């Protein structure tokens, strides 16, 4: 799949969701080739490193989804329902750190970002660049 065109890859990814699909079949035929294709496209775009590690697991997408939903401010009940959890507490037990309401983490990140901001033109290098 890594070498397929977008149209060919789309056709290959079209699944009959009413039919059962073996875990190994999905990994070999769909998921692993999709990871390879994403990395190949990133390399063609000039990225030197893989955008997805080769050991990346499909289950990691659930965590990515929950993280992105939390960052976007989507209600935890909606996220829980979409993840298929029977109770919101299950979602909170796993992802509670993502749905914190305090801004301590944001404040800490802002302080770190401030450290990276140049102080001003009065700072001169200690060594001359040649």
pLDDT tens column, 1-29: 556 677 777 776 666 767 777 888 888 88
Check if the beta carbon of residue 2 is closer than 8 Å to that of residue 37.
yes
Query: What's the predicted TM-score (pTM) here?
Result: 0.51
CA 109/CA 105 separation, integer angstroms:
6
- Residues spanned by the domain of 95: 58-116
Residue 71 has pLDDT above 70, yes or no: yes
Average pLDDT over residues 74-89: 92
Q: Which of 7, 32, 54 is the last residue of a domain?
A: 54
Q: Which of 14, 31, 54 is the last residue of a domain?
A: 54
pLDDT, tens digit, 9 for 90 and up, residues 27-55: 888 888 888 888 888 888 888 888 888 88
pLDDT of residue 27: 85
35 part of a folded domain: yes
Average pLDDT, rounded, for the chain: 78
| Same domain (yes/no): 63, 76 | yes
Give the total number of structural domains in the chain: 2
2 part of a folded domain: no
84 Ramachandran zone, left/alpha/beta (phi>0; psi -120 to 50): left
């Amino acid at each position: 799949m890594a070498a397929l065109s977008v149209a060919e890859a789309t056709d290959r990814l079209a699944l009959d969701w009413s039919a059962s699909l073996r875990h190994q079949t999905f990994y070999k035929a769909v998921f692993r080739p999709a990871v390879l294709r994403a990395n190949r496209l990133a390399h063609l775009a000039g990225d030197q490193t893989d955008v997805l590690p080769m050991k990346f697991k499909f289950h990691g997408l659930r965590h990515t989804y929950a993280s992105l939903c939390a960052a976007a401010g989507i209600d935890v009940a909606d996220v829980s329902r979409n993840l298929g959890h029977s109770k919101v507490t299950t979602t909170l037990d796993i992802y509670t750190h993502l749905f914190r309401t305090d801004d301590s983490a944001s404040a800490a990140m802002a302080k770190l970002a401030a450290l990276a901001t140049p102080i001003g033109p009065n700072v001169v290098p200690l060594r001359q660049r040649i």
